[in-house]
Structure formats: C-alpha cells, structure tokens
C-alpha cells in the first residue's frame, strides 16, 4: 500500500527542511528513531529517513509530499513513550519535532503559556515558576518527555487525582492535518462550544489525526507548600479502603495517592538500601498534599495520618522538607529500576479499574502470576485506579518462551480489567503494542467509530499508520 523512499524524494525533503535536517542511508543514526521505551525489541522498526522540520509550514509541505508519493509519516517527540506509538511500523519517514522546542509566549494576564511540541515538559514549569504559576498536567517522566507527546497521549501521572491529566489544560492547538492543511483550534479562551470539540479529539489521538505545531496550555497558581506521607499497611485491601475515606470523611483531595504492593516496594527498598522498617508491610501508600498555607497542610496531614492509623496502618512517616520528600519518593521512582536487577525485560502496563476494585484486581493478578510463574509487581495511582502491573521475564526463560507466555498473560490480564469495569490503558496509550487487544475491551461499533474518523481525516492512511486500530 505504501511506496519506498527514493533519492529524488529525499532531495525534495532536503529542500523543505535543509540538508542537515534529513537523516537518510545512515543505519546507525536511524536506529535511535526505530524504537521508544518499550523494552521488547520486536516492537522496533527502522525508518527509511528522519526529517526535522522547524515550522508548521514545513510540516504541511512534508505531509503533502507524503500524500503525493504514498509515503507513511510517523510523528515523534522525545521517544519516551511506552506503547510503540512513535515507532515507524511501515518504515517511511519519522518526523521529529525536536527542533520545535521554543516557549513562544507566557501570558500572565490570561494564565496561558504557548509552546511548540518539542519543549521538554519540565522546562515549562521552570519558565513560569518565577511568575508564581505552574502547568499542572504532570506526567511521571516530566524531565525527559516532550509536551507534544504528552498531548498526543493525553498523558497523566500521580497528580491526576487532584489536577487531572494533560487534556484538562489544553485550550488551543495549531495542527497540521494528515492532508497537509494548517488548522487552528481554540486559543486563549476558557470556554468554547463553537462546533465540535476538535481539540479533545486531537488530544490523545496518538499522532494519528494530526501533528501539533503550537499548543496553548492553561496555567495555575503555584502552590507555596508541600508535604508527603508514606503510610505502611499489612495488606493491600486495608490500604485501598482508606483512599475514599481520605476524600469523604477527611474532606481532603490530595495531590496524589500512590500505592505499592510488597513486590514493588521491597525490591525498591532493598535496591536503595532503605532503612525504613518495611519487612512487616504488605502495602504502602504515598500521599502528597500541596497548598498555600503550611499550617493548613499540617492540619490536613494530621487528619489523614489519624485516619490511616484508625483504619489499620502500621506507621505513618511525614516528609515536610525536600530531603525527606526525596527519600520516600525515590522508593516509588526506582521500582522498575530495582526489578531490572532481576531481569531487564519488563512489560510496563498501565491498566485502570474503579478504585474499589483495586484489591480484587491485585488478587487476580497474583493468580495469573502464579499460573504463569512470572512475577508481576503492581504499583501506581490509587487515587484514580491506574495500576502499573508489570510482568517481569524470569531469567531462565528464552526470549521466544517469554514472548509466547507474555501474550497469553496480557490477554488474561486485560480480560480481568474488562470484567472489573476498567480499561487497558490510562496513560501510555495503545500504539501498536496493545492494538491487537483493543477488541477485548471495546465494542465493535466503538472501534468502527474511530476507524471512520481516521478515514475521514486521513483518507490515504499516511499519518502514523498501524497504531490504535
């Protein structure tokens, strides 16, 4: 269905973006653009070329060229994704937005920042902090990911329980369509029901419906104080039952409520030589609070701490300064790294179930883990039911045996998620890693709706083919 690049087409690309911004016929340089952060090598695929445009106009010309010659285009941000979404599964051209890395405007009066897609997400907050503002759409990989990729995946993270995910803050987009038109959606207005909500059709579309060239983000006042609590419990059931009580009886919405099962935090604590007495614990909650008044936060963490102790907690540790906060958060951040000491091959999943179903899901996961003799540490965001259930390859399995076992294991896991009223991805996206599992959890009519939208906007199926559907 697609054509191969020719030297003549490559020369046309060079005329658009400049010779130095095209990689072609250089396998070593192209290899870096053949994969994202998915560990399994069989999801990787080499592009024929990489182009690095610097403007919407250049991208529009590239898209028109690609349609003319039937060459697939795969948009790419930082390549930090976990779904294979930025992998060129049909070869063709990878369109990297790495040169489009400017913060174009900080509008303090309207509380809006306008950025290009190649801006590292953390740099946004570094830039607006001096004005007492912050961007609240916080993914966990904030120091490496690009904002364009965050918008494409509708990325979320630990703070979603209070602040929501990326899409809540996207109020405007400049988009190059699959056919090469430049379209402006929204802007600096906070309300807009003028026609279909195309902004939020584009958010989370995984680079299949358009390429973002300008992004308008809503900003928030920067909280002046923060405190973290690390709470140990004997078992996960007890830990999870506390979560809704914090928000109902305590009348407090924490910034984040993270959970870790014993496989997760024990591996991380041993890896870090952490001295917290964790041996008796079967689960941990990591609760973050923020606000503008330190005294008010002290009252809130005392309420939460007392609620936890009254409901079966073993111990509550308070981190009210940067040093102690880093000490407890690094346990959560180092779980995957700790398990790499056991095996470098992991399948990082991010299923979502209703909060009340987390204990049932974890029980089912332990059954699946025992059935396949594969460790599956579980950790994630208790405040929104987003669970990183992570099958780990046992060292004694060959790669062939691992892939065969993992495919069956994931199918069983996703069926359990569906039965519990959940979905198979809350942050990472479908990409091409989870595409074949979509019919397990979505109705045929739902999938056909998405297929119809894709065909309407991209009739030649040029933009990021092989993803989602």
pLDDT tens per residue, range 131-165: 999 999 977 766 789 999 999 999 998 899 999 99
Instruction: Indicate if 355 and 286 belong to the same structural domain.
Output: no
Residues spanned by the domain of 371: 343-428
Distance CA 130, CA 383 (A): 30
Do residues 209 and 169 both lie within one domain? yes
Q: Is the pLDDT of residue 295 over 90?
A: yes
Whether residue 325 is found in the same domain as residue 309: yes
Q: What are phi and psi of 289, to 5 degrees?
A: -120, 145
**What tokens does 232 get?**
């140990």
CA 416/CA 361 separation, integer angstroms: 7
If we measure between CA atoms, which residue out of 262, 78, 259 comes closest to residue 158? 259
Specify whether 235 is located in the same domain as 212.
no
Could you tell me what percent of the chain has a pLDDT over 70? 99
- What pLDDT score does 180 carry? 98
> Average pLDDT, stretch 280-309?
95
* In-domain check, residue 88: no
Quickly list DSSP for 85-136: TTS-TT-SEEEE-TT---EEEEETTTTEEEE-TTSBHHHHHHHHGGGTEE--
List, for residues 60-114, the tens digit of each pLDDT value.
999 999 999 999 999 999 999 999 999 999 999 999 999 999 999 999 999 999 9
> Do the domain assignments include residue 14?
no
Q: Domain holding 252: CATH number? A: 3.30.70.2190
Residues 107 and 135 in one domain: yes
80 found inside a domain: no
Q: Tell me: do 300 and 358 sit in the same domain.
A: no
Find the mean pLDDT for residues 255-276.
Answer: 94
| pLDDT at residue 461 tops 90 | yes
Residue 108's Cα: distance from chain center in Å? 28
Mean pLDDT of 258-285: 93
What is the reported pLDDT for 40?
83
Using DSSP's 3-state secondary structure scheme, residue 173 falls into strand
Average pLDDT of the residues in 372-394: 96
Query: Looking at the 3D structure of the chain, how many domains does it have?
Result: 3
Query: Do the domain assignments include residue 382?
Result: yes
Q: What is the mean pLDDT of residues 317-322?
A: 94
Tokens of 248: 């109902």
d(CA 424, CA 413) in angstroms, rounded, equals 9
For residue 142, the model assigns a pLDDT of 64
Mean pLDDT of the chain: 95
Same domain for 310 and 380, yes or no, is no
Instruction: Evaluate whether residue 467 is within a structural domain.
Output: no
* pLDDT at 41 (0 to 100): 86
Domain contains 34: no
Residue 381 in tokens: 């965001």
Predicted model pTM: 0.95
170 and 210: one domain? yes
């Amino acid at each position: 269905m697609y054509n191969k690049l020719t030297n003549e087409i490559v020369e046309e690309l060079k005329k658009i973006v400049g010779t130095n911004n095209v990689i072609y016929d250089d396998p070593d340089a192209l290899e870096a653009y053949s994969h994202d952060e998915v560990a399994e090598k069989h999801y990787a695929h080499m592009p024929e070329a990489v182009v690095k445009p610097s403007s919407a106009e250049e991208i529009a010309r590239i898209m028109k060229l690609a349609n003319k010659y039937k060459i697939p285009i795969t948009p790419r941000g930082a390549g930090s994704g976990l779904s294979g979404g930025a992998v060129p599964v049909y070869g063709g051209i990878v369109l990297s937005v790495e040169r489009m890395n400017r913060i174009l405007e900080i509008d303090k009066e309207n509380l809006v920042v306008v950025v290009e897609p190649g801006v590292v997400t953390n740099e946004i907050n570094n830039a607006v902090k001096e004005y007492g503002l912050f961007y609240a759409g916080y993914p966990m990989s904030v120091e490496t990911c690009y904002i364009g990729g965050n918008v494409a995946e509708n990325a979320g993270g630990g703070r979603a329980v209070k602040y929501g995910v990326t899409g809540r803050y996207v109020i405007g987009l400049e988009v190059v369509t699959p056919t090469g038109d430049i379209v402006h959606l929204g802007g600096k207005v906070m309300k807009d029901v003028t026609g279909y909500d195309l902004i939020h059709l584009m958010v989370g579309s995984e680079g299949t419906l358009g390429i973002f060239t300008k992004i308008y983000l809503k900003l928030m006042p920067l909280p002046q104080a923060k405190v973290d609590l690390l709470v140990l419990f004997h078992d996960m059931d007890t830990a999870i039952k506390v979560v809704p009580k914090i928000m109902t009886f305590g009348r407090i919405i924490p910034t984040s409520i993270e959970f870790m099962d014993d496989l997760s935090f024990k591996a991380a604590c041993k890896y870090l030589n952490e001295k917290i007495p964790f041996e008796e614990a079967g689960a941990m909650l990591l609760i973050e609070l923020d606000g503008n008044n330190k005294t008010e936060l002290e009252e809130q963490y005392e309420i939460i701490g007392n609620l936890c102790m009254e409901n079966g907690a073993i111990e509550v540790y308070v981190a009210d300064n940067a040093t102690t906060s880093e000490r407890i958060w690094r346990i959560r951040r180092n779980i995957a790294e700790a398990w790499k000491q056991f095996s470098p091959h992991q399948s990082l999943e991010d299923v979502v179930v209703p909060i009340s179903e987390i204990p049932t899901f974890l029980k089912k996961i332990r059954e699946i883990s025992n059935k396949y003799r594969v460790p599956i540490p579980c950790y994630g965001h208790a405040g929104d039911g987003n669970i990183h259930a992570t099958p780990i390859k046992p060292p004694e399995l060959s790669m062939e045996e691992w892939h065969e076992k993992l495919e069956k294991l994931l199918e069983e896991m996703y069926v359990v998620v569906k039965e519990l009223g959940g979905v198979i991805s809350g942050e990472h996206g479908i990409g091409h890693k989870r595409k074949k599992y979509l019919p397990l959890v979505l109705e045929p009519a739902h999938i056909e709706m998405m297929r119809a939208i894709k065909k309407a906007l991209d009739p030649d199926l040029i933009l990021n083919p092989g993803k989602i559907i």
